Structure 1
Amino acid sequence: MKVGIDRIGFYTSKWYVDMAKLAKARNEEPGKYLIGIGQSKQSVIPNSQDAVTMAANAADQIIDDRNRDQIDLVLFGTESGVDNSKSAAIYLQHLLQLRSNIQSVELKQACYAMTAGIQLAKDHVLAHPESKVLVIGSDIARYGLHSAGEPTQGGGAMAMIISANPKILTIEEPSAHYTADIMDFWRPLYATQAVVDGKYSSQEYIDFFDRTLTEYQAKTQTKLSDLQAIVFHLPYTKMGLKALKSVLSKTDDRHATQLLREFEYSRIFSREVGNLYTGSLYLSLLSLLVNSENLKSGQKIGLFSYGSGAEGEFYVTTLQPGFETAIGGDKVKHLLEDREELSITEYEAMFNSQMPLSADDFTTHTQIDSAKFYLAGQKDQQRQYQRRKV
């Protein structure tokens, strides 16, 4: 039985900051951000959106009356959780009006968690062929204004339906993992912004890619030339390019050129959005599916997932007949094209307006946010999620 990605949705806020202008404001050459890091724009998340509401806005695009009652499991990957006990998946289940006799769980392992959810979902469908699983990756990447990590911020959500006989991609067996206890990136419980050792994390990312790809090839006898493309977790788009270039000597020049060409398609959306943490790899995948003119059913795409701390996985998917009509590419393009640019002053004000970690009541700026699902604030230490009537 074939199991894989049946539907895919994406959401980010309607505001962004231009990276060339941000570079000038930080007394940096624009090329450092545009070329050295590989980012053109960065999504800016208002205080009326969080991991839950962005997930709901992404998932709402792919849930309808045909699949709603078949969903019996929600797996929500995030490192921007809103509660240390209650799962973000429970809030999401309620907002999406899913049936109550289902399982809903939040998963955490830095940027790897959505991949863990996809693999768990695949196994669930193999055991229950009539089931459909909603898998989420939703995060806000925050390092702080004027920090070294500021140009690698961003935010958004990816949502997928995993099912039997999927319309977009099947997930192949097996996959390859590597896990090690390292401190390249972390966020203590008391902090709203991450701590990162950038150079060390970049080195480990490439090492984990090499290890998992090598193990996958040993398990399956797969050659690099068997892959039409490789997509990467992209905390910033230059990172994936570095990893890809590290293995191009293992294939011929023609195929190396092909992989580089497909990589450029895969980073178009991430250049416009920034870091999605758990959803980043799958925004890269969506970007490839929407933008590449070279993909055909039956071709294989390799995926490299990395979550600091650290865990990596390499696996392969196969394009299905008619995948082009199932990906909803026009919706993504319109979402990105219709955004509004913020000045540096407006960006900094929006960044600093986030709801604080406190017991105090708080009201968000809902009047500026037209998204269907939004966070109205906090009252009596409870988050106030709302669904806009449209």
Structure 2
Amino acid sequence: MNTGISHITYDIPKIYLNIEDFSKERQINAEKLKKGLGIHKMAFLDQHEDTATLAANALLKLFRQNNIDPKSINRIYLGTESALDSSKPTSTYAVEMVENFLGDRVFKHTDVTDMTFACIGAVDVLQNALDYVKSNPNDKAVVIASDFAKYDLNSPGEYTQGAGAVAMLVESNPKLMSFDSTFGVGYKSEHDFFKPRRHHPINQNSQHLTTDQILQVYREEPVFDGQFSNQCYQDRICEAYFHFKNLKNIQSKLHEAWSGLIFHLPYAFHGKRIFSEIFRLEKDNVASEDVTSNLYDFNELKTVSKTEEYQNLVSEKIRNAQRASSHIGNMYSASIFMSLISELWYKQSRLMSGDKLGFIAYGSGSKAKVFEGQLVKGFSKQLAHLNLDEVLKNRTPISFKTYEDLHRKMRTQSVVRPQNEFFLDKINTETDGLVGQRYYKYAK
């Protein structure tokens, strides 16, 4: 029995910063960011938004747009690296919002939890959901990816920021895409990107502080080495890609069997830049066991990426999947699934049932997974409600000052008043009782 995705929905912030405005203030060449990295707009959370509201909005859309009975759902698992709490899963906040909206304890018997492994966490959730439904073919699972890619002001990663959530229904006899059990994996513990607990900067050098005063705090902004992270991404996906080929016993060029390539995209053009090595390895017929000893230097890969053959590959199998990222930015765990949405939306007139899409996922830390999905008969009926062009168009641009105020959490009012969505109403302080408790509401 086939298992896979039947429905897919998403939610992104209603505001964005134009990369021209960002570049002017940071004295960066805007054309370099647009033409070199594919970055045009950067989605950013409004004052009332967080990863839980994004997840809840995507989840509610999933139920309402597809007339799904919430009581039929056995699992709701969330992949995120932007958790709101070190104990209480962010998924519980999102599910609570939707349950309060729908009423009647509809998720009373639903298993809910988070999974975290940087940007690949939601792929881990998807694999878990697929395995679960294959073992329990009458059950259904929901996969959610929700994240906020936030970097320090004036840092080298600042222009890649973004945010958003994607929700998917996984069930037997799927209506959109089916998957088998084969996942190629590449893993090695690295410190390319992470979010450690850090000493509070105030008085941290004092010799007279108590244990409580030496605070360990969580920050949204990561510690990272961009160049090293790119290398980890490239190394892991090579390992996972050729592992997948070995598991499938594929001797030919794997990418030629795929109608499209779906990447995790830290920035829009990352996929097409990073895949050139695998393209060259397959072109040179390098054996899987020799991959790590036959890697190419930067200049060689740059030459490969400029060839007509590789440019045709990008045009036919990568370009459409990266378009949404250009106008949203990095969505961390949700990025690869927004890449799927972008491919389905912009290429739908040329896709056919039976087409296979290759997924190339990466999470810092570091791990990659490569797998494939196949479009099923009637899949196009699931695409009409995506409305990607309309959603991207109907957002509000913000000034650079507003962006910085939001980044520093200095605003007390939303840029765009919430409407037909969940929003964060309040977070308890020391005088409110349970410190840090979060309260959400729905705005009609």
TM-score, normalised by the number of residues in structure 2: 0.82
Post-superposition CA distance 1:63-121 (Å, at most 9, x none): 14433221110101111111111111212222111421111011111011100100100
Establish whether residue 105 from structure 1 lines up as the match of residue 107 from structure 2: no
The equivalent of 1:209 in structure 2 is 237
Corresponding residue to 2:194 among 175, 181, 186: 186
Give, in angstroms, the shift of residue 365 of structure 1: 3.6
Establish whether residue 20 from structure 1 lines up as the match of residue 20 from structure 2: yes
Q: How far apart, in 2, do the equivalents of 1:58 and 1:333 lie?
A: 17
Post-superposition CA distance 1:265-293 (Å, at most 9, x none): 00111110001001000000110011013
Q: How far apart, in 2, do the equivalents of 1:322 and 1:259 lie?
A: 27
Aligned partners of 1:231 and 1:266 also within 8 Å: yes
Establish whether residue 306 from structure 1 lines up as the match of residue 366 from structure 2: no
Q: How far apart, in 1, do the equivalents of 2:238 and 2:29 lie?
A: 32
Establish whether residue 58 from structure 1 lines up as the match of residue 113 from structure 2: no
1:41-120 alignment to 2 at 5 Å? 41-64=41-64, 65-97=67-99, 98-120=106-128
Establish whether residue 369 from structure 1 lines up as the match of residue 371 from structure 2: no
Q: How far apart, in 2, do the equivalents of 1:83 and 1:123 lie?
A: 28
Aligned partners of 1:167 and 1:326 also within 8 Å: yes
Give the match's secondary structure for 1:60.
helix
Q: How far apart, in 2, do the equivalents of 1:144 and 1:255 lie?
A: 35
Q: How far apart, in 2, do the equivalents of 1:181 and 1:22 lie?
A: 34
Establish whether residue 277 from structure 1 lines up as the match of residue 332 from structure 2: yes
Q: How far apart, in 2, do the equivalents of 1:364 and 1:137 lie?
A: 27
Q: How far apart, in 1, do the equivalents of 2:69 and 2:185 lie?
A: 32
Give, in angstroms, the shift of residue 125 of structure 1: 0.6
Distance 1:192 1:66, change over 3 A: closer
**Which deviates the most, 101-110 or 56-65?**
56-65
Give, in angstroms, the shift of residue 174 of structure 1: 0.9
Aligned partners of 2:62 and 2:68 also within 8 Å: no
The equivalent of 2:265 in structure 1 is 234
Backbone CA RMSD of aligned residues = 1.9
Q: How far apart, in 1, do the equivalents of 2:358 and 2:255 lie?
A: 9
Identity %: 27
Q: How far apart, in 1, do the equivalents of 2:234 and 2:170 lie?
A: 28
Aligned length: 382
Q: How far apart, in 2, do the equivalents of 1:16 and 1:71 lie?
A: 34
Aligned partners of 2:272 and 2:314 also within 8 Å: no
The equivalent of 1:297 in structure 2 is 353
Establish whether residue 346 from structure 1 lines up as the match of residue 348 from structure 2: no
Aligned partners of 1:229 and 1:259 also within 8 Å: no
Q: How far apart, in 2, do the equivalents of 1:57 and 1:353 lie?
A: 22
Distance 1:259 1:2, change over 3 A: farther
- List gaps (5 residues or longer) in structure 1: 356-362
The equivalent of 1:218 in structure 2 is 246
Corresponding residue to 2:181 among 164, 173, 185: 173
Give, in angstroms, the shift of residue 354 of structure 1: 6.7
Corresponding residue to 2:439 among 380, 384, 388: 384
Give, in angstroms, the shift of residue 59 of structure 1: 1.4
Aligned partners of 2:190 and 2:365 also within 8 Å: yes
Q: How far apart, in 2, do the equivalents of 1:255 and 1:36 lie?
A: 17
Q: How far apart, in 2, do the equivalents of 1:55 and 1:334 lie?
A: 20
Runs of 4+ residues over 3 Å off in structure 1: 64-67, 251-256, 363-367
Q: How far apart, in 2, do the equivalents of 1:364 and 1:186 lie?
A: 31
Aligned partners of 1:15 and 1:342 also within 8 Å: yes
Q: How far apart, in 1, do the equivalents of 2:416 and 2:276 lie?
A: 46
Give, in angstroms, the shift of residue 330 of structure 1: 4.4
Establish whether residue 200 from structure 1 lines up as the match of residue 236 from structure 2: no
Give, in angstroms, the shift of residue 294 of structure 1: 2.2
Q: How far apart, in 2, do the equivalents of 1:354 and 1:283 lie?
A: 30
**Which deviates the most, 168-177 or 238-247?**
238-247
Q: How far apart, in 2, do the equivalents of 1:294 and 1:207 lie?
A: 32
**Which deviates the most, 190-199 or 282-291?**
190-199
Establish whether residue 261 from structure 1 lines up as the match of residue 316 from structure 2: yes
Give the match's secondary structure for 2:229.
helix
Q: How far apart, in 1, do the equivalents of 2:137 and 2:71 lie?
A: 14
Give, in angstroms, the shift of residue 259 of structure 1: 4.7
Query: Which one has the largest radius of gyration?
Result: 2
TM-score, normalised by the number of residues in structure 1: 0.93
- List gaps (5 residues or longer) in structure 2: 100-105, 198-216, 285-307
Q: How far apart, in 1, do the equivalents of 2:386 and 2:89 lie?
A: 32
**Which deviates the most, 29-38 or 194-203?**
29-38
Aligned partners of 2:46 and 2:416 also within 8 Å: no
Corresponding residue to 1:244 among 256, 275, 293: 275
Give the match's secondary structure for 1:246.
helix
